[in-house]
Structure 1
Amino acid sequence: MEMREGYSQTEFGNIPKEWRVKSLGDVGEVKMCKRVFNNQTKQSGPIPFYKIGTFGKEPDAFITEELFNNYRQKYYFPKKGDILISASGTIGRTVIYDGKPAYFQDSNIIWIDNNETIVSNSYLYYLYQVVDYRTEGQTIQRLYNDIIKITKFICPPTEEQTAIAQVLSDTDELISSLEKLIEKKKLIKQGTMQQLLTGKKRLPGFSGEWEVKKLGDVAEIRDGTHQTPVYVDDGIQFYSVENITENNFTNTKFISLEEHKRLTKTYKIEKGDILMTRIGSIGDCKLINWDVEASFYVSLALLKIKKGYSNKFIAHLIKSYDFQKEIELRSLQWAVPKKINLGAISAIDIKIPTDVTEQDAIAEVLNNIDSDIESLEQKLNKYKLIKQGMMQNLLTGKIRLV
């Protein structure tokens, strides 16, 4: 590897000469709260008690204010701004302690009482996102104190730490603002769906009647093969529940052309059809708006929309609160995994405009909102990738800010 001017060769590769390879044990002591026993917790109370399962989420256990004050004064307790780390479960998850009264499960949630003249909390927060907790080449299942202490990292001077953390923090704020905007758009869509798909609000130019139909009246509904096919490395795509729930029709399983022909003798997926999950996950759907050559599993229902009805409208209707509530009620509650039969799907009542142009107009409004959301999500994913690249370059010294 060619040595850049002003860089030194280390076990991490070339790093700036002013930077040092350190161990987390050099930064400060590993600390944890005093153990709290189950009989000391309640389902409600003044002080939240975070266990590994609720770390970074909503608490499901609480302790008394008296116990909290006693333990906080007598034993180790994090300072505001300290970076809490999950030491079990999904190891290495982080939460910045905000200083509000709360207590944390011993040994499962820890922190380093770091000397900020060596490493600042703001820099440590990003360092924890990339640090490699390994011992003797093996991925570890639990963060023991000794593993944390020997974990090595590259440490820039404090001035550079501040600059790096500020740039990454600014990027996080941009990502957070996009996430909030996406959530706002989704709420707007939910409200719009509730108004337009029920007829409570009419689009300009439409005043025709709405009618109640069974879903089976407006769509021919079938399911996929009941037999697990023989999968091959390459061939004809084979769709299952995961493709719908993850909205991923690129990474699919494959079957042979011969088997595909056999499975599609009677009916097949065509452009304009709707696929809906009915086993495991129920009620997720996808409008097939591309030229398709694929087979599908029994866990999916295929809806072929009849003439005089809008497939786009029906696809949005399936995603509505009322339809989802109805499909949940009609599912086989005792079945594991969850399941709804084709007959039950066909029997669901739907309210629909008699004028197909109104159906299409409503679908167009909702499609436009979906397009806005999709555009924002693409932008969000782009910035997340940019941040990953920034961290890779900034935390290794490949790009300098000072």
Structure 2
Amino acid sequence: MVSSVEEQLVSEGYKKTELGTIPEEWLIKTARDIFIKIQDGTHFSPKIGGNDYLYVTSKNIRPGKLDLSSAEYIDEKQHKSIYKRCDVRKGDILLTKDGANTGNAALNNINDEFSLLSSVAFLRVSKEIYSSQYFLQQIMSPSFQQAVQVAMSGNAITRLTLDKINKLEFLVPSTKEQTAIATALSDVDALITSLEKLIAKKRAIKTAAMQQLLTGKKRLPGFEEDWKTVSMNRDADLKARIGWQALTTTEYLDQGDFYLVTGTDFKGGRVNWSTCHYVDEWRYSQDRNIQLTNGDVLLTKDGTIGKVGYVDKLNGPATLNSGVFVIRPVQNAFNPMYLFYILSSRIFDDFLNRITAGSTITHLYQKDFVTFEFEAPNLEEQNQIAAVFSSMDDELDKLDQRLIKTQNLKQGMMQELLTGRTRLV
């Protein structure tokens, strides 16, 4: 029960509830009260094959999106058996109910019939009273996702049963306000989707350009000189933290003056200094060969091998852990940034595939890496090719930052609109 003191702290037009302070006219209803049908898919595994009917599983449900890029199909007989129980329709909300992505939800925008696995439930509203888009947005909100986790807690098998889904609680404004909120949030979703598509397109263009320019299939204007072979054994200086210098995890410090760079600190081909640990000065000074400088090329040799980084903005004194090579040119044999793009390309992927074929190798040995060779133009053309890709990376980085800001904007809008703190009607 709300105390008189608490009542005085509530703004006019609002009320305190177990789900927080909400507008006075908003209601709290369970899924059972809102949805006219809540049903999951088949509890048997049909035989995959043919192209009769789409078969949707939890892997196809991404947050806010129905992703059919890896969709599978089943034959008509199996589909008809499943569809008798779970007749999914356009406009239903699809909700994953078990597995790692439990709580993901998407709106079904498919006109045709399809079948569901039991890991997905569908929720159907009465369109005269409720907006399915509004409830989809509420399901994707951080507070609702937390409620999903609470609903699953306490069981050995973490899943949302239909009974638990029926008991989940929703904030329910008027139909008019539901529509207004859903429209505002959907507009931001559309912007996020367009940015994601643009980024994917730009990445594809970069990949195609790398395949052309790094192999000589396409030349930059003004260059005709023959290419020469660059050998990691002859033309590169390769260093790493040697065995007796190995660091223990207790030496990974949360703060300090000397950065420790590991393969997990590579983000977008650059060092993400904000995620780096630190080491004591004596550990940094222990080996000058692995003290980083601008222009160093980094390559992981343990765990996820072949992950590449480039040091272009050294934040301060930095050294490496034992899982990373630092590569530098011998007597200007190559442009380091050009090598970075070579190691990020299909050329190096093919090399790794050859040396790891038929094995479960999780380590890139120096004796193997030094056998890597590639064809390269003179330094001037390398510089210009590297500049082309660096410009593409700058553009992609700006788009990524814009996407992050838009996603953060969406989170803030959800927090305001789906709780009634900000009203649109």
TM-score, normalization by structure 2: 0.86
- Residue 101 in 1 paired to residue 120 in 2? no
Cα displacement (A) at 1:298: 2.5
- Structure 2 residue runs of 5 or longer lacking an equivalent are 1-5, 62-66
Structure 2 counterpart of 1:157, one-letter code: S
SS of residue in 1 equivalent to 2:422: coil
CA contact (8 A) 2:107 2:133 kept: no
Structure 1 contact 305–311 (Cα < 8 Å) conserved? yes
* Amino acid across the alignment from 1:116: K
What's the counterpart of residue 299 of structure 1? 323
The DSSP-based 3-state class of the residue aligned with 1:21 is: strand
Deviations 1:91-132 (A, max 9, x none): 1111322233321112x2112232334432111110110212
Residue of structure 1 equivalent to 2:148: 133
> What is the CA distance between 1:164 and its match in structure 2?
0.7
CA distance in 2 between counterparts of 1:241 and 1:332 reads 23
Identity %: 28
Distance between the aligned counterparts of 1:398 and 1:94, measured in 2?
24
Deviation at 1:378, TM superposition (A): 0.7
Contact 2:259 2:317 in 1 (8 A): yes
1:130-149 CA distances to partner (integer Å, 9 max, x unpaired)?
21225589577211223222
Alignment partner of 1:386 is 2:409: yes
Match of 1:5? 12
Q: CA deviation at 1:61?
A: 5.1
Match of 1:240 in 2: 262
How far is 1:225 from its partner? 4.2
Number of aligned residues: 396
Separation (CA, whole Å) in 2 of partners of 1:332 and 1:321 = 16
Residue 281 (str. 1) matches residue 281 (str. 2): no
Q: Are 2:132 and 1:121 equivalent residues in the alignment?
A: yes
Moved more, 357-366 or 265-274: 265-274
Contact residue 36 and residue 126 of structure 2 kept, 8 A: no
Structure-1 residue corresponding to 2:121: 110
CA offsets, 1:226-268, max 9 Å, x none? 3233323323322222112575331123322222222x24542
Partner of 1:92: 103
| Mapping for residues 186-205 of structure 1, pairs under 5 Å | 186-205=203-222
Q: Which residue of 2 aligns with 1:206?
A: 223
Q: State yes or no: 1:182 paired with 2:194.
A: no
Q: Match of 1:52?
A: 58
User: Which structure 1 segments of 5+ residues have no match?
Assistant: none
Q: Quote how far apart the aligned CAs of 1:350 are.
A: 1.0
Q: 1:228 aligns with which of 247, 262, 266?
A: 247
Which residue is 1:25 aligned to? 32
Q: Is the 8 A contact 1:30 1:110 kept in 2?
A: no
Contact 2:290 2:326 in 1 (8 A): no
Structure-2 change in CA distance of 1:276 and 1:120 (3 Å): same
Q: Distance in 1 between matches of 2:113 and 2:331?
A: 62
3-state SS, counterpart of residue 15 of structure 1: strand
Match of 1:164 among 181, 200, 203: 181
Partners of 2:86 and 2:151 in 1: CA distance: 31
Q: Rate the CA distance shift 1:364–1:241 in 2: closer, same or farther, 3 A.
A: same
Q: Equivalents in 2 of 1:199, 1:136: separation in Å? A: 58
Q: Offset at 1:58? A: 4.8
Work out whether residues 122 and 165 of structure 1, in 8 Å CA contact, stay in contact via their aligned partners in 2.
yes
Indicate if the aligned counterparts of 2:49 and 2:75 stay in contact, CA closer than 8 A. Answer: no
Find the aligned partners of 1:52 and 1:314 in 2 and give their Cα distance: 41
8 Å CA contact 1:33–1:103 kept in 2: the answer is: no
Of 389-398 and 310-319, deviating more is 310-319
Alignment match of 1:77 (pick from 87, 91, 106): 87
Check conservation: 1:135, 1:147, Cα contact below 8 A: no
- 1:77 partner letter: D
Higher alpha-carbon deviation: 267-276 or 140-149: 140-149
Shift of 1:66: 2.3
- Given the alignment, which residue of 277, 282, 285 partners 1:258? 282
> Is 1:154 matched up with 2:171?
yes
Q: Does the Cα contact within 8 Å between 2:89 and 2:111 map onto a contact in 1?
A: yes
Distance 1:3 1:286 in 2: 52
Q: In the TM superposition, what is the alpha-carbon distance from 1:389 to its structure 2 partner?
A: 0.4
Offset, 1:10: 1.9
2:58 is paired with a residue whose SS is: coil
Cα-Cα RMSD = 2.4
Alpha carbons of 1:60 and 1:172: their partners in 2 closer, same or farther (altered >3 Å)? Answer: closer
Decide which of 306, 314, 318 is 2:343's aligned counterpart: 318
Q: Distance in 2 between matches of 1:57 and 1:224?
A: 45
Q: Is the 8 A contact 2:171 2:419 kept in 1?
A: yes
Deviations along 1:350-398, one digit per CA (max 9) or x if unpaired, are 11112x1211111111111111111111111110000110111010111
CA distance 1:217–1:122, change in 2 (3 Å)? same
Residue 79 (structure 2) aligns with = 68
Between the aligned partners of 1:319 and 1:134, the Cα distance in structure 2 is: 39
Equivalent residue for 1:366?
A: 389
Contact 1:332 1:340 in 2 (8 A): no
Q: 3-state DSSP class of the match of 1:283?
A: coil
CA distance in 2: counterparts of 1:372 and 1:136, whole angstroms: 43
**1:217, distance to aligned residue in structure 2 (A):** 2.6
Give the structure 1 partner of residue 371 of structure 2.
347
Amino acid at match of 1:237: Y
User: In structure 2, what is the Cα distance between the partners aligned to 1:58 and 1:104?
Assistant: 16
CA distance in 2, matches of 1:165, 1:10: 23
1:303 is paired with a residue whose SS is strand
> Corresponding residue for 2:64?
none
TM superposition shift of 1:70: 4.2
